[in-house]
Structure 1
Amino acid sequence: MSLTGRTALVTGAGNGLGRAIAVEFAARGARVVLSGRNRSTVEAVAGEIGTAARVATVDTSAAESVGALAAELADEEISVLVNNAGVAGPVAPLTDIAVAEWDDVFAVNVRGVFLMCRAFLPPMIARGAGDVINVASVSGKRPLARRTPYTASKMAVIGLTTTLAHEVGPLGVAVNTLSPGPVAGPRMARNFALEAERTGTTVAAAEEEFVSRSALRRMVTEREVALAAAAMLAMPGLCGADIDLSAGMVAR
C-alpha cells in the first residue's frame, strides 16, 4: 500500500487522528500537508515526519481561511484530501445546549467538510483522479445520550459524502467516509470523566460500561484508524462507502 508520488492534505493534523493519519501516510511514501488552527502543534507533527511534511494553518469553518489555504497550496498537486478536523461539542441534554454550542459543532464538523471539498475538488476533477476521506463517526448510528450536536453533525457528514460521491465519482474522484468508534485517548478520557461526574460513579466504571457495548470489549486506537485510512486508498473500487471501525461497537 505504497503512497509514493501522492500528496495528501490532512486537516486537524496537530494531534489525535489527524496526526496518526499524517504520520502513517508519510511512512508509506506520501508527501503530507499538515493543516490545523494551531501552528505550533502542527509543526511538532511535521518535526516527527521530516522533509516529507509541509505545514499550513487554517480554520476550516471559515470560507476566507479555506480560500487562503487553497491559494497557498496552489503549487501542490493534492491527490488525497482527509477531512479530519472536528470538535466534540458539549456533553449535556439537548434542552441544556445553547444555540451557539450547537452552531459551533456544525461549523467545524459539517461546514468545514463542505468548504474544504469545495476548495480542493476542482483540481482533482480537472485531473480526473483523486480521493477524499471524510472522517465521521459511528456516533449517531446508535443512541449516544447527551451528545446530540456531535452525533447529528457526523451523520450529516455521511449524507454529504454519499451524495458527493455520486457527483464526482463519474469524474474520477472517489469520496468515502471513515467512521471510527470510540478512540482511546484524551477526548474519550474527558467524556468518561464527565459521565462519571454526572452519574456519581468512577471514571473506570464509566469506561467499562461504555466499552462493554463493543464486540472486542475495547476502544480502537489512533494507529488502527490511520491504517484503515491507508487501506481505503488501496481499494480503487471504493466510492460512496462508509467504513465502520469500531471494535464491533456498531455491526451492520
Structure 2
Amino acid sequence: MTLAGRTALVTGGGGPLGSAFALALAKAGARVILVGRNGQALAEAAAKVGDAAHTAVCDVSDPAAVRVLAAELADEDVSLLVNNAGVAGPVRPLVDVEPDEWDDVFAVNVRGVYLMCRAFLPPMIAAGRGDVVNIASVSGKRPLLDRTPYTASKMALLGLTRTLAGEVGPRGVAVNSLSPGPVRGPRMDRNFRLTAELTGCTAEQAERDFASRAALGRLVEEDEVARALVAMLAMPALCGADIDLSAGMIAPA
C-alpha cells in the first residue's frame, strides 16, 4: 500500500518500537513526526528514517505540553495518529505497588492517549478522514502476574479504542488498536531481569518460561509489529477492532 501524501504522528517515537513504526510508515510513503520526551533519542530514531522524519519533544501525559505541541503542528495535516508512548511500570504484587507508581503508569498509558486524541482528532473530524491506532497489549486481555498497573492500563486502552471508534467513525475517522505480545527488546529484557530477581531464576529462564506461553513459543519482533501497523492501514473497513499480534499468547498464565 502507499501512504504517500499523509503525515503520521508517532508518540513514544524515541523508543525501539516507535522507531520501527516510523521506518515502516516512511517506507510506505508517509511523512512522519516522532514525538517523545527524550530529544536525543528522537533525533537518533529520525536519523534511521531519513528526510521523511521530523521530531517534536513532548510529554504526552502533560496537558499543557500537548496543547503546545498541537499549536506547533497546527499547520501540519496529521491524518494518522499512532499512540505508542507507554511505560511498563513496576513488577511486583499489587499490594506492594505505591499509589504514585500506579498513577505514573496511567498518566502515560491512558491519559496520554486521551490527551493526544483530544488534541489531534478535531482536524481529522473536520476533514472527514483519518486514522488513530492505539498500541495496546495482549496483557490487557490476559493475566500477567505482578504487572497489575500495566495490564489495567492496557485494558482501559481497549475500552477507550472501542468507544472512541463509535464516536468518530461516523465522522470518517477510523480508530483501532494493535495488541502486540511480548516484543523482543530492552523493555522485555528489563522485565525478565526483574522477574528473575523476584523468583530466583535466571533472566534467560524467565524469558523461556514467558515465551513458552505463546502458541508459537517465541517473542514477537519489532519489525513484525511495524508491518502489522501498515497492514492495518490497508484495511479501510477496519474500525473499532483490536489486532492481536502475540504469537498466540492468548491463554491465561
> Could you tell me the TM-score, scaled by structure 2's length?
0.98
What is the Cα deviation at residue 211 of structure 1?
Answer: 0.5
CA distance in 1, matches of 2:171, 2:149: 33
CA distance in 1, matches of 2:70, 2:217: 42
CA distance in 2, matches of 1:142, 1:94: 16
Tell me which stretches of 4 or more aligned residues in structure 1 moved more than 3 Å: none
CA distance in 2, matches of 1:69, 1:200: 45
Question: C-alpha root-mean-square deviation of aligned residues, in Å?
Answer: 0.8
**What corresponds to 2:135 in structure 1?**
135
Instruction: Give yes or no for the alignment of 1:31 onto 2:31.
Output: yes
**What corresponds to 1:110 in structure 2?**
110
Instruction: Give yes or no for the alignment of 1:183 onto 2:183.
Output: yes
Output the amino acid matched with 2:207.
E
SS of residue paired to 2:138: coil
CA offsets per residue over residues 26-68 of structure 1, 9 Å max, x none?
Answer: 1111100011001111011111212111110110001100000
What is the Cα deviation at residue 196 of structure 1?
Answer: 1.2
> 140-149 or 170-179, which moves further after superposition?
140-149
CA contact (8 A) 2:105 2:149 kept: yes
CA distance in 1, matches of 2:40, 2:123: 29
**What corresponds to 2:225 in structure 1?**
225
**What corresponds to 2:97 in structure 1?**
97
Output the amino acid matched with 2:16.
G
CA offsets per residue over residues 104-146 of structure 1, 9 Å max, x none?
Answer: 0000000000000000000000000000000010103111110
**What corresponds to 2:197 in structure 1?**
197
CA distance in 1, matches of 2:204, 2:109: 29
CA distance in 1, matches of 2:91, 2:177: 24
SS of residue paired to 1:190: helix
CA distance in 2, matches of 1:45, 1:146: 31
What is the Cα deviation at residue 84 of structure 1?
Answer: 0.3
**Percentage identity across aligned positions?**
68
SS of residue paired to 2:140: coil
CA distance in 2, matches of 1:224, 1:46: 20
Unmatched runs of 5 consecutive residues or more in structure 1:
none
CA distance in 1, matches of 2:160, 2:84: 14
Where do residues 25-174 of structure 1 align in structure 2 (5 Å cutoff)?
25-174=25-174
CA offsets per residue over residues 183-207 of structure 1, 9 Å max, x none?
Answer: 0011111111111111111111111
SS of residue paired to 1:182: coil
> Aligned residue pairs: how many?
251
Unmatched runs of 5 consecutive residues or more in structure 2:
none
